[in-house]
Structure 1
């Protein structure tokens, strides 16, 4: 032992002389040769690594040592291995001291530092406070995720720009809430495409009529087909159906009804897409399968921004088997499917009362008076709020609003400054509503509203109510939660258990499903890449839209039914609609609605890894990368994120010509010992997923841009789509411990041999998301306990959430 005395001195502060000596002997015997001042392999030098856990980075370095030894990565297999009792003693000593230090640090300041509402939480909270639907999140700057989530305090800083945007968002919200104008006239539109001005012009102009007499190529083309009861529309660049009369209306809730049927669709359905459109951009409201020769009336209730019209488009229509379209041979001669639209209706806004409920959310019990329309000169104002004692009414309204906004009772004198702002406006001659707005605006930008109030130690019942509601609803606590907080009963185990059940059973828990899966599984990045149309022509909007629906519905079903968490690795069911079923080559699924479908026993599908959404967000739109997918599996599903690559290590460039496979390129990339150590863990999951392309389709050969074998894409709704394929896919490999697998089915079986790792990883992600803090060293032991208790009770996802919400990690700051 060359440096035993030095290492002992470095570790002496960590505990007893015996423990320090034991640790120094372990490091000297099994680590010093590679990690001394001369070698410094991996950048680690024990000669320079002192024991000063309170210094930035020092604790993390020792925690990394603990992790590498625990996983059996260090010392390397080719080096002399410690006896089991030596490794156990070393880890117990080092881990005990690290844990003790971390516990003491958390006890003094809490796990979670002061955190604010992220922009999604801000939007939902303000919407619920004011009873509005106005979008607000896009006004605010994007939040910075930390530890994988935008609910973590470390990433939620507050800047001057954010304060400016909070003020702007508050003004927009209050404008939407305090509406004192006349009730919007009920809008009822009945649209018949046969009477549409633009459609009639196209139909009634004789074919070949020159729009420019000097240009023989300007002849008119009829693009619609008129039937006795409908007009047939085609896509592929031809005009969509803009429902005339729907583009002039206030924001609100509207009912939309459309009647249509498939024309010449030979027994197949036509996918009808419905959009809201402002002429700059359109947003899909929904899509619907329309049967052949049998009218279907669909009904949609949707929240529409002001002045957005309805647009209807068919999908995969207007081209015959020879590739001819409407423009080439005209609609009468064309033997190709189309969408026969009969009529469309829009009704709204569907306001249950006026002035809207949002006014009462702001002014409380303050009377709202309807103005005499004959005496009122300002026709834009139909109601007024003019109490006899404006200051008293304002104080009452501000106190009520602040208690709801701050999510707890108001402390004596706490709202004085908000009242003073309003009083100053009233003293200056302002009317009641503008003066009250000043105080309300200040409340919506106050620290008590923007930040979660949590003190070190056990959370009080009001803080617990907020933690629960923002975990499972992404918005403020409701009256029942606050009543339990007021009675000091919420922290009782039976009460918190019952409240978690209630919150999960409420439709508002869809916010948890959407927000958590969107970040845990990177579903928010579904549109970050666009599949290459030459390689993946079947990657249409409906498929990509359905991908996210599948994964969210899958998570929601496991949560609702409390199914084992291992279903995230392998399940005997999938959540499908007709578009996804066609993509997965699963017969017998009709309709646009996502539903639970039992998978064939030999199916490659089942679990998250083979869902198209996951496979798309882990690819780049052109090719797949085993490294990228493998790192994703390690981080997201196994809770074991790989370290970043060493400096200067370049990425593999995709070869879309098909000359080499990614795996062949990667073999050269792994030649060095430094790369191989990490890639032995990263690459196997990626290899297992090589049977799936960038949009989640199963493949046996790689696609390439040109040449190669030409294949027809049988799982596409358009039978005319094709692609070129070349080299065969290899999806076999072996894990870092030597266990082999031949395909994705084998790989999933290997993962399920250690289900605890899957449960612990998910538990860690849920704790991070729900508490606003990453998993510290000391927290890992509690996470392991949560996972173990969950497993004892059947391993269900709902059980895991109960274990988390009843754990000290959740109940304490």
Structure 2
């Protein structure tokens, strides 16, 4: 069932009182009732009525007005519970099959009749505002302009609902939004059509001599005296934060110079025996030894074979960026300030290669042993080169002929604006709709403004219209399904997080988005490079990856946790999803797999063989690695922790929401928190404390369903490291042994995470059903309701034909009738 249905408290976990059931049955015998009411009186009301209110639910008070549908989700949950045999509980009197059939049939009919009535009463128009990411992608695909809406002072942050940041009901429009949208449109148009001619792209290269040695004349002279022919190199030791891009390197910079830059770095790395590879981060300084990276990469090239690393970067100029060399064991092993000062002073040392030990300052801390092996993960930089701002031919083509000539007639200006508005608004536009924007153009011209500047004012009006900022569905009259233009936009914002391209517009115009034509377009979209936006955005929102690092782990408890590990953890499930989709692998892989996607930092953390190439790649797993699938990734395990300890309940809630699409009810008010272990008491595991917590009658029902989902992962600590004993800060005696066993709500037992995953695999269709719900929530931009259940089942049936392979599941959603419905 859909997510909304599970705001229902733990409805049928609690046992029905046998005395109440007998009393209700006797009443029913003396006063025969319609099967629907008779069933409720006999098997439900005794524990969910005026005498008892288990799970905070009064069935006798649920609305019977199915046309309004206020409580339809509760009734739909009831069908599922009765059909699955969870209600009434096994130890209570069971209804006969005929009673069950009559009750289900009657209730199902009422729900469907109400659904039909609600569909018929659907409003004439629906609006769904673009998220920040969608706005960013859309202005790029419309005008070829790079704009960062998340930059401070730009667009407001999107409101999330269970990780999803594009739901229409959450994305409201306040006065502050309106003001920011006007400023954003002005900036975007300024970058697209700058008032002053922009300079050509420039290339700036800084060598190690420039960056480290002020040109290096004196140091080069010293090398000549020693007879050393190697070039000067910049040794970036762990904890170094140095300039990587000065804001004056490109001359007189301004907003018009923001855009795409290419950065090339020739570097190599020194790696201690058994230690981590050298890692370089380039970004904005956030602390003495920390940088908020826009580029993060491991440097695995050995110092005698330096490698050129090349990246494309979107920069908001002017910008000052810094290098930061990351290593987890630096400051702990050296007294930080003295170490940095000794090696960081200008002229303190000359460096070309670790074998040239005579060049190092003898007073500086030792960086290499007597055999030239590094003691720290260190970067050797030869040069860095920046080139930009760059514009691709495709970006230039998007802006070609958008501006009318300076001497254009009013009719030609109107034609230009109409063509622009049709692409921006993603549908046919008549000239009457543009009257106010053309009037603003005339007003600006009459005030003496230049034609291009006046036309930009009209374009700004188009970009701040609701037709651009929102997906508008249903105008001008109420209808049950989308038209082809609306469907084109729904598909493109689903699979590309942006507007349709020319081919999709053409299909909408010709009426080809049906049958084989729709299949062809969806297939094309799934193989287009823009599908990576879907991969990045959907996986991040579905898995709630924004929570990774929300509670930074305690450095004393987890000294090997650093920012690069956090970034790598956040990227792992995204790269895993990418591999699953692109290779069209079976959905089972999300639950368990014998491989993952990892980089060198994650391999070091997980204890896996290091990959032979840089970046993320597929890495094989063995049973003894205790990994496989989404549930044992560091991100999944860490985002449900609080920085000091794992939280089984939160892990259970996350798994219930993400894997099963069931949101447990919130905890009752005033439930006491789990207290720390008393110093004089024997050490107790968090599981032991939860057992005591469940003795609270207000907590027991919900925890019976949630806790097993979280306790299965107790072998993993707060940052996802494998363990067999649980560390406790206080208490006496030995550390308690981890116990990951449990019992599922349906009575099946498991002894550890492996057996738990096997139980999930046995119920794979429940997981696929939940995954489809998440896809539809993302694609439809709304919370699903019981009204969507038949369509979800139809998508399930279609996806099953291809054995539930990931790309085929996404394809089935994109081509479904549900995606065409308003």
Q: TM-score range by the shorter chain?
A: 0.7 to 0.9
1:259-278 equivalences in 2 (<5 Å): 259-263=266-270, 265-266=272-273, 270-277=277-284
Which deviates further from its counterpart, 501-510 or 409-418?
409-418
Shift of 1:523: 1.0
1:393-542 equivalences in 2 (<5 Å): 393-455=412-474, 456-490=479-513, 492-542=514-564
Query: Alpha carbons of 1:158 and 1:572: their partners in 2 closer, same or farther (altered >3 Å)?
Result: same
CA-based RMSD of the aligned residues comes to 3.4
Secondary structure of 1:345's match? strand
Query: Alpha carbons of 1:791 and 1:541: their partners in 2 closer, same or farther (altered >3 Å)?
Result: same
Query: Alpha carbons of 1:269 and 1:283: their partners in 2 closer, same or farther (altered >3 Å)?
Result: closer
In structure 2, C-alpha distance between the alignment counterparts of 1:27 and 1:190, rounded to whole Å: 78
Alignment partner, residue 213 of structure 1: none
1:237-248 equivalences in 2 (<5 Å): 237-240=239-242, 242=244, 246=249
Q: Which of 387, 391, 402 lines up with 1:364 in the alignment?
A: 402
Which deviates further from its counterpart, 470-479 or 617-626?
617-626
1:757 matched to 2:766: yes
1:697 matched to 2:733: no
Query: Alpha carbons of 1:469 and 1:351: their partners in 2 closer, same or farther (altered >3 Å)?
Result: closer
Query: Alpha carbons of 1:705 and 1:196: their partners in 2 closer, same or farther (altered >3 Å)?
Result: farther
Which deviates further from its counterpart, 71-80 or 20-29?
71-80
In structure 2, C-alpha distance between the alignment counterparts of 1:395 and 1:509, rounded to whole Å: 35
Shift of 1:84: 3.4
Residue by residue over 1:23-73, the C-alpha shift from the partner in whole angstroms, topping out at 9 and shown as x without a partner, is 111111111222232323333334444512345734344344444434544
In structure 1, C-alpha distance between the alignment counterparts of 2:533 and 2:206, rounded to whole Å: 35
Query: Alpha carbons of 1:178 and 1:258: their partners in 2 closer, same or farther (altered >3 Å)?
Result: same
1:293 matched to 2:303: yes
In structure 2, C-alpha distance between the alignment counterparts of 1:473 and 1:796, rounded to whole Å: 20
Shift of 1:655: 5.8
Shift of 1:601: 4.6
> Which runs of no fewer than 5 residues in structure 1 stay unpaired?
9-16, 205-225, 368-386, 710-724
In structure 1, C-alpha distance between the alignment counterparts of 2:265 and 2:732, rounded to whole Å: 45
Alignment partner, residue 364 of structure 2: 331
Which deviates further from its counterpart, 527-536 or 315-324?
315-324
Secondary structure of 1:254's match? strand
Query: Alpha carbons of 1:190 and 1:425: their partners in 2 closer, same or farther (altered >3 Å)?
Result: closer
In structure 2, C-alpha distance between the alignment counterparts of 1:435 and 1:320, rounded to whole Å: 58
Q: Which of 680, 696, 721 lines up with 2:704 in the alignment?
A: 680
Alignment partner, residue 382 of structure 2: 342
In structure 2, C-alpha distance between the alignment counterparts of 1:733 and 1:597, rounded to whole Å: 30
Residue by residue over 1:296-348, the C-alpha shift from the partner in whole angstroms, topping out at 9 and shown as x without a partner, is 22222322221324433333399599757465784374433332222222222
Alignment partner, residue 229 of structure 1: 231
1:142 matched to 2:157: yes
Shift of 1:260: 2.3
In structure 1, C-alpha distance between the alignment counterparts of 2:286 and 2:667, rounded to whole Å: 46
In structure 2, C-alpha distance between the alignment counterparts of 1:474 and 1:197, rounded to whole Å: 43
Alignment partner, residue 586 of structure 2: 564
Secondary structure of 2:719's match? coil
In structure 1, C-alpha distance between the alignment counterparts of 2:205 and 2:664, rounded to whole Å: 59
Residue by residue over 1:196-254, the C-alpha shift from the partner in whole angstroms, topping out at 9 and shown as x without a partner, is 477689999xxxxxxxxxxxxxxxxxxxxx99533453445445354566475532322
In structure 2, C-alpha distance between the alignment counterparts of 1:483 and 1:239, rounded to whole Å: 51
Alignment partner, residue 649 of structure 1: 671
Alignment partner, residue 347 of structure 2: none
Would the aligned equivalents of 1:634 and 1:642 in 2 still touch at CA under 8 Å?
Answer: yes
1:34-113 equivalences in 2 (<5 Å): 34-55=47-68, 57-109=70-122, 113=126
In structure 2, C-alpha distance between the alignment counterparts of 1:626 and 1:332, rounded to whole Å: 45
Residue by residue over 1:461-498, the C-alpha shift from the partner in whole angstroms, topping out at 9 and shown as x without a partner, is 111100110000010000000101111111x2211112
> Which runs of no fewer than 5 residues in structure 2 stay unpaired?
1-21, 220-227, 343-361, 369-374
Would the aligned equivalents of 1:534 and 1:705 in 2 still touch at CA under 8 Å?
Answer: no
In structure 1, C-alpha distance between the alignment counterparts of 2:170 and 2:738, rounded to whole Å: 41
Query: Alpha carbons of 1:698 and 1:57: their partners in 2 closer, same or farther (altered >3 Å)?
Result: same
Secondary structure of 1:80's match? coil
Query: Alpha carbons of 1:82 and 1:747: their partners in 2 closer, same or farther (altered >3 Å)?
Result: same
In structure 1, C-alpha distance between the alignment counterparts of 2:396 and 2:647, rounded to whole Å: 52
Which deviates further from its counterpart, 194-203 or 344-353?
194-203
In structure 1, C-alpha distance between the alignment counterparts of 2:610 and 2:530, rounded to whole Å: 32
TM-score w.r.t. the length of structure 1 is 0.84
Q: Which of 594, 601, 615 lines up with 1:579 in the alignment?
A: 601
In structure 1, C-alpha distance between the alignment counterparts of 2:807 and 2:212, rounded to whole Å: 56
Secondary structure of 2:712's match? helix
Query: Alpha carbons of 1:186 and 1:278: their partners in 2 closer, same or farther (altered >3 Å)?
Result: farther
In structure 2, C-alpha distance between the alignment counterparts of 1:551 and 1:792, rounded to whole Å: 26
In structure 2, C-alpha distance between the alignment counterparts of 1:610 and 1:507, rounded to whole Å: 29
1:123-142 equivalences in 2 (<5 Å): 123-138=136-151, 139-142=154-157
Secondary structure of 1:804's match? helix
TM-score w.r.t. the length of structure 2 is 0.83
Query: Alpha carbons of 1:238 and 1:599: their partners in 2 closer, same or farther (altered >3 Å)?
Result: closer
Q: Which of 786, 793, 799 lines up with 1:790 in the alignment?
A: 799
Would the aligned equivalents of 2:28 and 2:42 in 1 still touch at CA under 8 Å?
Answer: no
Shift of 1:266: 4.8
Residue by residue over 1:382-423, the C-alpha shift from the partner in whole angstroms, topping out at 9 and shown as x without a partner, is xxxxx2235344323211110111101113522122111211
Q: Which of 627, 635, 653 lines up with 1:631 in the alignment?
A: 653
Query: Alpha carbons of 1:581 and 1:352: their partners in 2 closer, same or farther (altered >3 Å)?
Result: closer
Which deviates further from its counterpart, 141-150 or 557-566?
141-150
Would the aligned equivalents of 2:585 and 2:805 in 1 still touch at CA under 8 Å?
Answer: yes
Secondary structure of 2:127's match? coil
Give the number of equivalent residue pairs: 746
In structure 1, C-alpha distance between the alignment counterparts of 2:677 and 2:611, rounded to whole Å: 36
Would the aligned equivalents of 1:569 and 1:752 in 2 still touch at CA under 8 Å?
Answer: yes
Would the aligned equivalents of 1:146 and 1:154 in 2 still touch at CA under 8 Å?
Answer: no
